[in-house]
Amino acid sequence: MRGGFAYRASVAAKPWRDSVTETVERHEFGAEVGRLLDLVVHSLYSDREIFLRELVANAADAVDRRRFEALTQAVPALPENAAVRIIPDKAARTLTIADPGIGMTKDELAANLGTIARSGTRAFSQSLAEAKPGDRPSLIGQFGVGFYSAFMVADRVEVTSRRSGSEEAWAWASEGQGSYTLAPADRAEDGTDIVLHIKADAEEFLEPLRLQTIIRKWADHITIPITIARDGKDEPANDGTALWRKPKSEISEESYAELYRHLGHVFDKPWATLHWRAEGALDFTALLFVPGMKPFQVVEGERESRVRLHVRRMFITDQAELLPPWLRFVQGVVDTEDLPLNVSREMLQATPVLARIRRAVTSRVISELKSRAKDAEDYASFWENFGTTLKEGLWEDAEHRKDLAPLLRFRSSAVEGWTSLADYVTRMKEGQEAIYVLTGDASEALAKSPQLEGFRARGVEVLLLSDQIDAFWPERLERFEEKPIRSITQGAVDLSKIAGQDGTPDEAADLSRLLPLLKDALKDQASDVRATDRLVDSAVVLAAPADGLDLHQQRLLQRAGRSFGAGMPVLEINPRHPLIRTLAARAETDAGVAEIAEMLLDLARVQDGDSPRDPAAFARRVADAIAAGMRSPPAA
């Protein structure tokens, strides 16, 4: 039912005829109503104020349906001042919702209010299947079980309705206990009144200010005027303008900005505004905003999208997850004609229609970001605000992973500012087979890491990844433009195919004796000790085994108390470094090499931003080494 409720004081106070000659009919609810009424009242909705949204939705749909039938059938036109009226009466403890809508006959009252989800509007919608698109009404709703939410706040509900074009009115009444009555009634005009006899614990819903707040929250953009009676006057309760339904040519930038601020409770301007109408297999309108600044996150770790879902202008929920978590920074409204206004409004996630809308909206946002990314300076401001969030999609969303890759931006060891994977590929050296990345806690520290020495010596660019999610997504993306993405701390990196800078490198030491000694000394702390050609100025560096986790990923998991999968690191040594050459010479006589092995491993840990295994022991070894150096005579 979307029966209208045009309130008259005499009807609200006394819905029955003064002299009732006909017998009042008593009916039992349909079996499904009897089983579900208790569930509706006590369990269906999480907030009692929802009842007003349901009843206003019904009333607004009834008005729109009458407007449509007035154009196509012999139904009287709507009055010029048609509005949904809400009348609280504290003295009588009643709340009335009235409209001049299509109304209901006796049979329709019994069918619509006596049986769950038999509003008649489904058949009405089907009868228009062959109608021209321009002739279809903008609002066609189902009454569903939303009406029964009235019993959350009322111990008796009375509905008086007169079908538009008829001279006969009927009254339906129930206390929500398994039965209802039908009787003839008087109503001077077409439409419907609902009178709720408010429970003692729900008197807050008789306060005009409370009602105003609910309407602003749930129905502010319904185009039919909604009024609330206060001190004998009807005061406007809703804005009445669904901005997203207007053509873009009629909307100013300031109007967009005002809605953006209203929806997000922010004060900046949107970085991007997306406004479009989808027609065809899906029928919906979307008005979305990408914020100009990173919003304050009230709940730490909250990842759900809060784009508002409207059905025929009526706000349904902001928890429909219309966008994936990695686009949760996007705000706005999606308004569709393809969903019913019934109980499923709180369980919409499972509907196929909503799934298709999600895919369409997500694709449109990605397309917009790709377009805006062409302006590097403008896109940089977006990336600094929301790049970390966007990268979450690389880890969790296989469907959109390849679409997201071109949108990524990184700091680099070779260029200033932000760079993309596509730009990186154009700068790859001859003989370079992979896109190299280095992950850590801060890009400034990564830029000074000894891990980069061999790459810089050969002019090989390395992307510096400093967000926590950067430790995880590369293994999911794997490659870009057929180039594998490779962490330089994982496995042995072979740079031999890439020409180095001019100059004669220092002679490499013979490590055939030293390596076995170091491996034996560190067998409980390092999975391997090997020579490397990716160091220039440093003596040692850490790496992860080829089949293990990246070093930074291991540290993040350990901090979170989840060290599963973290294996022992590999110690790589620079055979051209003076310290290693000295140790290689001592190894011929095994002169204290084993004692120095653990110091080398701790030195590599410190260089990598980690802590020594035993900081106190490391400090003692360093102090002893300094003291020994000071006792030695200076070189000639």
**Can you tell me the mean pLDDT for 98-104?**
95
Alpha helices, H only, 14-49: 31-39
d(CA 118, CA 125) in angstroms, rounded, equals 13
pLDDT at 140: 26
**Can you tell me the mean pLDDT for 95-109?**
94
Rounded to 10 degrees, the C-alpha dihedral 346/349/350/356 comes to 130
State whether residue 237 is helix, strand or coil: coil
d(CA 8, CA 522) in angstroms, rounded, equals 91
pLDDT exceeds 60 at position 27:
yes
pLDDT at 89: 97
pLDDT at 298: 43
pLDDT at 137: 34
Q: With bands split at pLDDT 50, 70 and 90, how would you rate the model's confidence at 408?
A: very high
Residues paired with residue 191 on neighbouring β-strands, in sequence order: 162
**Can you tell me the mean pLDDT for 151-175?**
93
Spatial contact of 181 and 172, defined as CB atoms under 8 Å apart: yes
All residues at 6 or more sequence positions from 263 whose CB lies less than 8 Å from its CB, including other chains = 289, 308, 331, 332, 333
Amino acid at 507: E
All residues at 6 or more sequence positions from 482 whose CB lies less than 8 Å from its CB, including other chains = none
d(CA 397, CA 394) in angstroms, rounded, equals 6
b/e map 218-237, b = 16+ CB within 10 Å: bbbbbbbbbbbbbeeebeeb
Strands 528-531 and 462-465: unpaired
Q: With bands split at pLDDT 50, 70 and 90, how would you rate the model's confidence at 179?
A: confident
pLDDT at 550: 76
d(CA 416, CA 433) in angstroms, rounded, equals 23
Phi-psi region of 139 (alpha: psi -120 to 50; beta: other; left: phi over 0): beta
Task: Identify the residue with better confidence: 489 or 343.
Answer: 489
pLDDT at 16: 41
On the CB side of 508, CA atoms within 13 Å amount to 13
Chain centroid offset of residue 627 CA: 59
- Name the least confident of 93-102, 146-155, 377-386: 146-155
Q: With bands split at pLDDT 50, 70 and 90, how would you rate the model's confidence at 262?
A: confident
Q: Which residue's structure tokens are 């070093």?
A: 551
Q: With bands split at pLDDT 50, 70 and 90, how would you rate the model's confidence at 5?
A: very low
d(CA 618, CA 602) in angstroms, rounded, equals 7
Q: DSSP letter at 556?
A: H
Helices 352-372 and 376-396 cross at an angle (nearest 10°) of 140
574-605 pLDDT per residue, tens: 999 999 998 888 887 766 777 788 889 999 98
Spatial contact of 424 and 438, defined as CB atoms under 8 Å apart: no
Q: With bands split at pLDDT 50, 70 and 90, how would you rate the model's confidence at 563?
A: low
d(CA 101, CA 86) in angstroms, rounded, equals 14
Task: Identify the residue with better confidence: 510 or 119.
Answer: 510
Q: With bands split at pLDDT 50, 70 and 90, how would you rate the model's confidence at 500?
A: low
Q: What percent of the chain has pLDDT over 70?
A: 82
pLDDT at 329: 94
Nearest to 286 by CA among 229, 353, 365, 208: 365
Most confident of 312-321, 439-448, 493-502: 439-448
pLDDT exceeds 90 at position 493:
no
pLDDT exceeds 70 at position 41:
no
Q: Locate 590 and state its tokens.
A: 């095994």
pLDDT exceeds 90 at position 615:
no
Report the mean per-residue pLDDT for the chain. Answer: 83
How far, in Å, are 285, 322, 353, 389, 554 from residue 301 at the CA level? 30, 19, 29, 11, 22
pLDDT exceeds 90 at position 270:
yes
H/E/C letters for each residue in 415-477? Answer: CCCCECHHHHHHCCCCCCCCEEEEECCCHHHHCCCHHHHHHHHCCCCEEEECCHHHHCCHHHH
pLDDT at 96: 98
Strands 226-230 and 284-290: unpaired
Angle at 20 between CA 14 and CA 25, to 5 degrees: 95
Q: The dihedral of CA 625, 627, 632, 635: what is its sign?
A: positive
Nearest to 384 by CA among 428, 406, 417, 416: 417
d(CA 466, CA 485) in angstroms, rounded, equals 16
pLDDT exceeds 80 at position 14:
no
All residues at 6 or more sequence positions from 428 whose CB lies less than 8 Å from its CB, including other chains = 435, 461, 483
DSSP string for residues in 184-226: EE--SSSEEEEEEEE-GGGGGGG-HHHHHHHHHHHSTT-SS-E
d(CA 45, CA 628) in angstroms, rounded, equals 77
Spatial contact of 308 and 332, defined as CB atoms under 8 Å apart: yes
Amino acid at 247: P
185-196 pLDDT per residue, tens: 999 999 999 999
d(CA 209, CA 145) in angstroms, rounded, equals 27
pLDDT exceeds 80 at position 84:
yes
pLDDT at 425: 97
